[in-house]
Structure 1
Amino acid sequence: MIRVLIADDEAMIRAGVRAIVQSDPGIEVVAEAADGREAVDLALSHRPDVALVDIRMPRMDGLAAAAEMRRLVPATAVVVLTTFGEDAYISRALGEGAAGFLLKAGDPRELITGVHAVAEGGAYLSPQVARRVIDRFGGGRPAREAAARTRVEQLTQREREVLALVGTGLSNADIADRLFLVEGTVKSYVSTILNRLGLRNRVQAAILAYEAGLASDG
């Protein structure tokens, strides 16, 4: 059972999100917060697998709350769920360690897919957001691409293979199946890659994979 925290200052939005995610029998909402500070406190007390966090909330905005959760409850995967898809918000969210970024205007099925993806150790972006991230970072300028290729050269061949599959959004289990490894070994590889390259999360790793030419838009 995937345990979820919902943080949004609008009660109707919280109710709608709860109804969507709990339509999946494998997901349970364990707590709801009306502001960012409360979200952090509830994450500490409930230790959910996934936190769905809005950006604009009182007391502490969702991006600051995401950063606090990643620092205090690193096992909780944070997904930003918002109306605002501006590049600045996307960049800050991913920089703060969010494992996903979803738009409220998206297909409700994306929400369930995203919760499962990040709970399994993957990353998930709304298709509209993914396209913008790829356009902004994946093509990159020549200097950015060259720098990315230089960074990944310090990885072993197997680590580059894992990074390439992280770049396609696969979970640890999917990567293990693809490379004929056990899931625990893949998790170890991913941790090593993040530490060696100075990356906060799988989304940043995926961006680097695109910039270095290891992953494609497929």
Structure 2
Amino acid sequence: MPTRVLIVEDEPEFMHRFSSAVLADPSLCLTAAVGTGQAGIAMLDLQTPDVLLVDLGLPDMKGVAVIDHAARHHPACDVLVVTMFADDDHVVASIEAGASGYLLKDASAERIAASIHELRAGGAPISPGIARRVLERFRTRSRPVVPGPVAVPAAPPAEASPLTPREGELLRMIAKGFTFETIGTLLDISPHTVVAHVKKIYRKLAVHSRGEAVYEAGQLGLL
């Protein structure tokens, strides 16, 4: 079944380019292309698309408000921001509102279509120009503690970890659901290097899959 895409973009040139990118891919289906935030919210509620492609500079409201509505009322809908804004405030606000991907408008039509597929596969496509901002935010964000009736053993001291700092960082990204391609972009390393690190992590934790690695790392207090 084709992935249903809703586009919210007020500039005709970009609306046409984004729409063409979706229509050119037979595995994607353009449900609507609208030019205001209000129309975007209405289409979200009416059509419940699989992917929302949204600009941030809309004429009637901030694009972040549309993202927030999608996250609150349609959590199964993946949100891809495509915008001209590359500053920290817009990037962070979009991600915190619920966006899973963030591209700049200089992205090619092929890149946009590929990013939609990456989103649906659980990835987080990000333009290289802003990847370091996301990485810095990721590194400084504290991990929430979920209270529970069962006492959780204290995490082992850092020196007891079998993983190197880079392997630990990469494992935390895996736990967040980032694809190997996205991890490579964020860490500025090749996909081959990412795979090499992952193999070392699997070997050190005596596991054979991403899920097992995340579970075992959680049990050992490494996340």
TM-score normalized with structure 2 length: 0.65
Structure 2 residue identity aligned to 1:111: I
Work out the CA distance in 2 between the residues paired with 1:61 and 1:40: 12
Name the count of aligned residue pairs.
173
Among the aligned pairs, what percent are the same residue?
29
The runs of 4+ residues in structure 1 deviating greater than 6 Å are: none
Work out the CA distance in 2 between the residues paired with 1:104 and 1:33: 17
**Pairwise CA distance, 1:168:** 7.0
Structure 1 residue identity aligned to 2:178: G
Is the Cα–Cα contact under 8 Å of residues 36 and 60 in structure 2 kept in the other structure? yes
Corresponding residue for 2:35? 34
Work out the CA distance in 1 between the residues paired with 2:112 and 2:126: 10
Give structure 2 stretches of 5+ with no counterpart.
147-151, 156-167, 181-197, 199-207
After superposition, where does 1:13-162 map in structure 2 within 5 Å? 13-134=14-135, 136-138=136-138, 140=140, 147-148=142-143
Work out the CA distance in 1 between the residues paired with 2:145 and 2:39: 39
Work out the CA distance in 2 between the residues paired with 1:170 and 1:111: 17
Secondary structure of 1:125's partner?
coil
Work out the CA distance in 2 between the residues paired with 1:163 and 1:5: 31
Higher relative contact order (CA 8 A, sep 6+): 1
Corresponding residue for 1:179? 209
**Pairwise CA distance, 1:162:** 7.2
- 139 and 166 in structure 1: CA distance in 2 versus 1, 3 angstrom threshold: closer
Corresponding residue for 1:210? none
Is the Cα–Cα contact under 8 Å of residues 174 and 210 in structure 2 kept in the other structure? no
Work out the CA distance in 1 between the residues paired with 2:138 and 2:4: 33
Work out the CA distance in 2 between the residues paired with 1:166 and 1:7: 31
Corresponding residue for 1:169? 178
Secondary structure of 2:69's partner?
helix
**Pairwise CA distance, 1:90:** 0.2
CA deviations on 1:76-103 (whole Å, 9 max, x unpaired) are 1111110111110000001101111110
TM-score normalized with structure 1 length: 0.67
Secondary structure of 1:101's partner?
strand
**Pairwise CA distance, 1:181:** 6.2
Corresponding residue for 2:13? 12
Corresponding residue for 2:3? 2
Work out the CA distance in 1 between the residues paired with 2:94 and 2:17: 23
Is the Cα–Cα contact under 8 Å of residues 35 and 61 in structure 1 kept in the other structure? no
**Pairwise CA distance, 1:72:** 1.3
Corresponding residue for 1:206? none
Structure 2 residue identity aligned to 1:165: I
- 164 and 80 in structure 1: CA distance in 2 versus 1, 3 angstrom threshold: closer
Work out the CA distance in 2 between the residues paired with 1:8 and 1:76: 17
